[in-house]
Amino acid sequence: MNKKIYIPVIALVLLVIVIQLIIHASDAAYYLTQLTMSAYYVLVVIGLCLLMGYAGQISLGQAGFFAIGGYISAVLTTYNLLPYSDSGIIKFFSKLRMVIERQDLYGNRLLSFSPWVGFFAAVAITVIIALLIGIPVLKLKGHYLAMATLGFGLIIYRIVLGTAIFGEADGVSDVPGFVLIPACALEVNGSISLRIQNYYIAWFIVILGMIISVNLIHSRVGRALRSIHGSEDAANAMGVNISKYKLYTFILSAVLAAIGGVFLTHYNGSIGPSEATSMKSIRYVAIVAVGGMANIWGTLIMGVLLNFLSLRGYFGTYDDAVFGAIFIIIMLFAPQGLLKISQLQKICTYFKSRNKGHERASP
Amino acid sequence: MSFELLFQYFLSGITVGSIYAIVAVGFNIIYNTTGIINFAQGEFLILGAMVGITLSPFLPLPLAIILAVILTVIIGALIEIIFIKWLKEPSVLRVIIITIGVSILIREAMLHIWDEKVRALRYFTGTEVSSVTIFGAHISPQVLWVLGISAVIVICLNFFFKFTLIGRAMRACSANKTAARLCGINSKRMVTFSFMLSAGIGALAGCAVSPLTQTQYDMGASLAIKGFTAAILGGLGNSMAAVAAGLIIGLLEAFSISILPLAYKDAVAIALLLIILFFRPSGLFGSREKSALKEY
C-alpha cells in the first residue's frame, strides 16, 4: 500500500496544531470560532469534491443534505417528550439512555432524545433520502442533473420554511451541546470555555473525512470514478458499474454534508432556513470549482479560506457577489481550478529544467 | 367549490402560467441556438421590471417599458459577448456555472442598486381596485394585459421564426450549426441575437406582471426554475409546447393552494419538475423514439 498518500494528511494534522498554537500565542482566540465553523463547512465541500471532481456529477442541492442533517438532529434533541414520558416506548428509550432529561433556559424540565440518537437518525435519514433521490437523479446529465439537484435543494428549503416543527422562518434554536464522550467531557458546544476543545474536535472530524476520501480516491473505487469522469461510455464498456459507483459517491457526499450539518447545528445551538438556500449550495460548488474540481486538497484549502473570510465578514454586503464573481472568473480563465496540480508540476519542471541548464552550463 | 371560484383560480393560474411560459420560451430560444441553459433567464424579468419601475415616474408608461426592454436587451447582449462568446467548445458544466455566476452578479447588483424593497410598476389601466367581471369572476384588468402581452409575444415569435430571415437563420443554427455556417450564416452572431431576444421578451413579461406580483431583487431564481420546469415539461427546445406546459404549471399551482398550505406552493412546481425528469425527460409532448437517441 502506498504510504505516500498520507503525507498531506500528516501535514494537515501538524498545520492544525500549529495554527492553534499561533492563535493561542497571538491572543486572538476568537479566530478559533470561525475556524471551527469553517471546518464543518469544509466537510460538505470535501464530499461535493468527491462527487463533482472525481465522479463528475454536479450537485446544486448539497445545502439540502446539510439542512436535513442539521434539522433532524436539532428537532430530535429539542422536541419535548415530557407529555409522553409515561408511554411505554419513551420509557424503553430512556432505559437505553437514548432519551435524556435536562433543563431549558428558564429551568423547565425538558425530555428529549440524546444528540447521538439525533446524529444517527440524521445520517440514516440522509442515506435513505440520498438513495431515493440519487437513483433517478444520477441517470440525468448536464443541465438536467443540475436542475434536478437544484430542485431537490429548493424543495428541502420550502419544506423547512413551511413546516411548523422545523420552526418555519425562525428555524430551531436552543439546540443543546453534543456530548461526544461523557467520561472525558468532550462536547460540541459553542461556549467560549470549550473553544480550543471544539476546534480540535471539528478538525479531527475533517481529518477523518480526509483520510476516508484519500483512501477512496486511491482505491479501486477512485479509479473507477475517474474513469466515469473521463468517459462514462468507455468506463461502462470496460465493465465498471457506473451507476453503482455514482450512487455510492452521491450518498457519501450527502452523508458528509449531513454530518457537517449535525455538528455545526450543535455547535451554533441553532439552525435556520438560510442554511438550506440554493445560494448555500452554489457556494459549495464555487469552493469546489476554485479548489480545482478533482483536487481534494485544493478544495480543503479554499474551503477553509473562503468560509473563514466569509464568516469573519470580510466580504461585507458583497458576500454572495464574491462567490458569483469567483464562479465566473474561475470558469472563464481557469476551469481546472486555481490550485491545479499540473500547473504546479509545470512550474516545478520549469525550475528543474533551469537548474539542469545551470548544471550543464557550469562545468 | 362554486363555478365563480373555480374560474377565479383558473384565471390566476393562467396569468402566472403565461409568465412561466414566457420564461420557458426564453430558455428555449437560447437553448436552441447554443445548446446551453441560461440560468440567468429569471433575472432578465426582474431587471426589466426594475428598470421600468425606476423610469415610470419620469416618462409615460409605454415609453418607460420600451426603454426597460431596450436596456435589458443590451445587457443580455453584453452578457453573451463578455462571458460566453469567446469560449471555445466549453463543457456543459462550465457554462452552467458561468450562467449561475452571472445570475448571482445581476441579482447582487440589483440588490445594491434598488435595495431589497418590494416594488411594483403602476397598473397599465386603472388601479389596484378596479376590476372587470367575466363570468362572475372579478379580475384586475392587468390580468388581461398579461395574457394579451404573452399571447402577442408568442404569436410574434412564431411569426419571426417562420417568416423572417434572422428567425430562419436562428432555426437553421439550432437544427445543424455546421450546415448553417456552410450556408453563410454567422452562427456566433445568432447566439448573441438569441440572448438579446430572450432578454427582451423576459423584460417585457417582467414589466407586464410587475403590478400583479410585485418585484423584488431575488425573485428571479424561482421564476427561472418554474420556467425551466415548463420548458422540460414541454420538451426542451420546443417553444410552443413550452407555452402549453407553462399554463399547465400555473394552473396546477393555482389549484394546489386549495389543497396544500400556501408555503408549499413553490414546492409543487419543483416536485413536478423532478417527477418529469425522472420519468419522462423528453417532456409531455416529446416523442419517445427521439428521446431514446438523446442523452439527458
Residue A95 in this model has a pLDDT that exceeds 80:
no
Cell of A119: 446524529
Which chain A residues are closer than 8 Å to B90 by Cβ?
Answer: 335
Considering the domain B3-293, what is its CATH architecture?
Orthogonal Bundle (1.10)
Is pLDDT larger for residue A259 or for residue B293?
Answer: A259
Residue A94, amino acid? S
Structure ipTM: 0.84
Chain B residues contacting A, CB < 8 Å?
A: 36-37, 83, 87, 90-94, 96-98, 100-105, 107-109, 111-112, 221-222, 225, 228-229, 232, 261, 263-264, 266-267, 270-271, 273-274, 277-278, 281, 295-296
Question: Out of A224-238, B42-56, B100-114, which region has the weakest mean confidence (pLDDT)?
Answer: A224-238
Most confident of A153-157, B33-37, B170-174: A153-157
pLDDT at A267: 92
Q: pLDDT tens across B221-248, in order?
A: 888 888 988 988 888 878 888 899 999 9
Q: Which of B221, B266, B295 is the closest to A158 by Cβ?
A: B266
Element (H, E) at A109: strand A109-113
Q: What is the mean pLDDT of chain A?
A: 84
Residue B296 in this model has a pLDDT that exceeds 80:
no
High-pLDDT (> 70) share of chain A, %: 92
Residue A69 in this model has a pLDDT that exceeds 70:
yes
Closest to A247 (Cα-Cα) out of A140, A122, A336, A119: A140
Q: pLDDT tens across A222-271, in order?
A: 888 888 877 778 888 888 888 888 899 999 999 999 999 999 999 998 99
What are the angstrom distances between the C-alpha of A276 and each of A52, A151, A165, A250? 19, 12, 16, 18
Q: Which of B94, B232, B263 is the closest to A162 by Cβ?
A: B263
Do residues A20 and A195 touch, judged by C-beta distance below 8 A? Answer: no
Q: What is the mean pLDDT of chain B?
A: 86
Question: Out of A14-18, A277-281, B288-292, which region has the weakest mean confidence (pLDDT)?
Answer: B288-292
d(CA A40, CA B264): 30
Query: In terms of DSSP bridges, do strands B132-134 and A109-113 run parallel, antiparallel, or are they unpaired?
Result: unpaired
Average pLDDT over residues A119-144: 91
pLDDT at B72: 95
Rounded (10°) CA dihedral B175, B179, B182, B185 = 0
Which residues sit opposite B132 in a β-bridge? B139
d(CA B179, CA B172): 8
Q: What residues of chain A, 309 to 338, have a C-beta less than 8 Å from chain B?
A: 317-318, 320-321, 323-328, 330-332, 335
pLDDT at B24: 92
pLDDT at A228: 82
Residue A84 has phi, psi (to 5 degrees) of -105, 10
Question: Among the residues of chain B, which ranges form H helices?
Answer: 3-34, 41-55, 61-79, 92-114, 141-163, 165-175, 177-182, 187-213, 220-234, 239-256, 265-279, 288-293
In sequence order, what DSSP letters do the residues of A235-287 get, joined into one string? HHHTT--HHHHHHHHHHHHHHHHHHHHHHHHHHHT-B-GGGGSHHHHHHHHHH
Q: Which of B109, B225, B278 is the closest to A154 by Cβ?
A: B225
Confidence of residue A348 (pLDDT cuts 50, 70, 90): low
In sequence order, what DSSP letters do the residues of A111-175 get, joined into one string? EEE-HHHHHHHHHHHHHHHHHHHHHHHTT--HHHHHHHHHHHHHHHHHHHHH-GGGTGGG-B--P
Q: pLDDT tens across B248-277, in order?
A: 999 988 888 878 877 787 788 888 888 888
Most confident of A134-143, A168-177, A312-321, B68-77: B68-77
Residue A357 in this model has a pLDDT that exceeds 60:
no
Contact check, Cβ <8 Å, B228/A320: no
3-state DSSP assignment of residue B215: strand
Which chain B residues are closer than 8 Å to A58 by Cβ?
Answer: 93, 96
Contacts of A42 (CB under 8 A, 6+ apart): A206, A260, A300, A303, A304, A307
Residue A361 in this model has a pLDDT that exceeds 50:
no
pLDDT at A90: 78
DSSP A37: H
pLDDT at A192: 79
pLDDT at A363: 42
Distance from CA of B278 to the nearest CA of A (A): 5
Closest to B157 (Cα-Cα) out of B137, B139, B138, B171: B171
What are the angstrom distances between the C-alpha of A265 and each of A119, A173, A271, B35, B46? 11, 9, 6, 41, 34
Closest to A91 (Cα-Cα) out of A119, A77, A111, A115: A111
In sequence order, what DSSP letters do the residues of B162-187 get, joined into one string? HHSHHHHHHHHHHH-HHHHHHTT--H
Grid-cell match 440520498, residue found: A130
Contact check, Cβ <8 Å, A325/B232: no
pLDDT at A234: 84
Q: pLDDT tens across B81-99, in order?
A: 998 888 877 777 788 888 8
Residue A359 in this model has a pLDDT that exceeds 60:
no
Q: Which of A146, A162, A278 is the closest to B221 by Cβ?
A: A278
In sequence order, what DSSP letters do the residues of A184-240 get, joined into one string? TTEEE---GGGHHHHHHHHHHHHHHHHHHHHHHHTSHHHHHHHHHHH-HHHHHHTT-
pLDDT at B144: 87
Which chain A residues are closer than 8 Å to B36 by Cβ?
Answer: 143
Distance from CA of A310 to the nearest CA of B (A): 16
pLDDT at B202: 93
3-state DSSP assignment of residue B1: coil
pLDDT at B286: 66
Where are the domains positioned within chain B?
3-293
pLDDT at B200: 94
Confidence of residue A1 (pLDDT cuts 50, 70, 90): low
d(CA A240, CA B216): 48
Do residues B109 and B99 touch, judged by C-beta distance below 8 A? Answer: no
Chain A CA closest to residue B94: A331
Confidence of residue B45 (pLDDT cuts 50, 70, 90): very high
pLDDT at B74: 95
High-pLDDT (> 70) share of chain B, %: 96
High-pLDDT (> 90) share of chain B, %: 27
Which chain A residues are closer than 8 Å to B103 by Cβ?
Answer: 324
d(CA B272, CA B265): 12
